[in-house]
Structure 1
Amino acid sequence: MPRYRLILGNKSYSSWSLRGWLIAKLAGIPFEEEVIYLRKSDTRAKILAHSPAGQVPALIEDGQVIWDSLAIGEHLAERYPDRGLWPNDPQARSLARSVVAEMHSGFRALRMALPMDLRRRYTDHPLSPEVAREIARIEEIWHDCRARYGAEGGFLFGAPTIADAFYAPVVTRFRSFEVTLKAESEAYCAVIMDWSLMRQWLAEAAEESETIVFF
């Protein structure tokens, strides 16, 4: 098996790092990880030493750099097609790719208004109409995927896939900002938060000493 290293940002704050880490764990690859603290004077230089994009996560496979969490997911799914990173059913796989791409390129208002912060709870945080629309769209995605393919297992497509890795950080945002959701959306959030991989990430994030103040 190739030798892997995964370059990450703070586990308390880096949503894209969480996605890449979950995907690598789902792929079952052994990897070393390096956490680079974000928003420091030398952050960009440290990341550029590993990735030409200057962003995390970056997966290094035998010296080759694969950057961007979606590229990491596609690369590992191609290399390890038996690991279930995408659903086996072609229609389910197409839907999974679509909702992952939508998260990858969209929901900008939500990202800006509700940053991932595992160290704080925000009460009575105002939601703009645009953020509310994006939350409603995410709930619609969750309902559609779970209604069609998630009858067993509770994840979006039954067993955990790249799609769940991409939406897991949103779950933490909803929890941190105490967003009111529909009952079925809360049920999905509970599945994600009880996922053994998420519990591991949260425990490791709790050990970090660095803090970022957003508001």
Structure 2
Amino acid sequence: MSEDALRLMLIDDHAIVREGLRAVLEDDNGFVVVAEAGCGNDALRQFAAATPDVVLIDLVMPGLSAAETIRLLKRIDPRCNFIVFTSFAEGEMLRETVQAGAIGYLLKDASRDDLVSAVRAVALGQPWLHESTQRLLVDLLRKPLPSDPFAALTPRELSVLELIGEGLSNRRIAQRLNLTEGTVKGYVSTVLEKLDVADRTQAALYFTRQAARD
């Protein structure tokens, strides 16, 4: 492995997709895949030790969402850049991943040359958008964010917030929602950020006040 090789991490819940990406990318001497993960929680466990320059992440995965995974990994290493690699262009999910820190967006039917070019561009901090998503992204970013913070939460995040409001710990929430404790921790971090509150106590108070108004 060349010391100058770009270090890549692949996050996709389909092993065959990761195998295909590795085969294409490592065929170019300038790339080396240093880690693979099937979900966001697995990626969180490997990320710090792998020190990738670029992460290619699937848009739709079990557990942590792509946006949540990107946001948490960015906290570990803000210098790392992210490409969302997906089979379809979905509006709101696209905006969430861009706001979380992704600067590349590539569809899975992209050519080998486009894939290699996207990785190289994103490694330099340059945005790379599949042509079919460029207008969609511009239209989305022109729209104001919802004034009601609850409207910015996904159904799963709302469920977590409701259980925070009941005073449950992460372990109890995980048991209630049949999730891992690590996944719940990721959801809690996202909820606090979206509500712009400092801790779960403030989040619980916020939920209680809003529920009373409704």
TM-score computed with the length of structure 2 as normaliser:
0.27
Higher RCO (CA 8 Å, separation ≥ 6 residues): 1
TM-score computed with the length of structure 1 as normaliser:
0.27
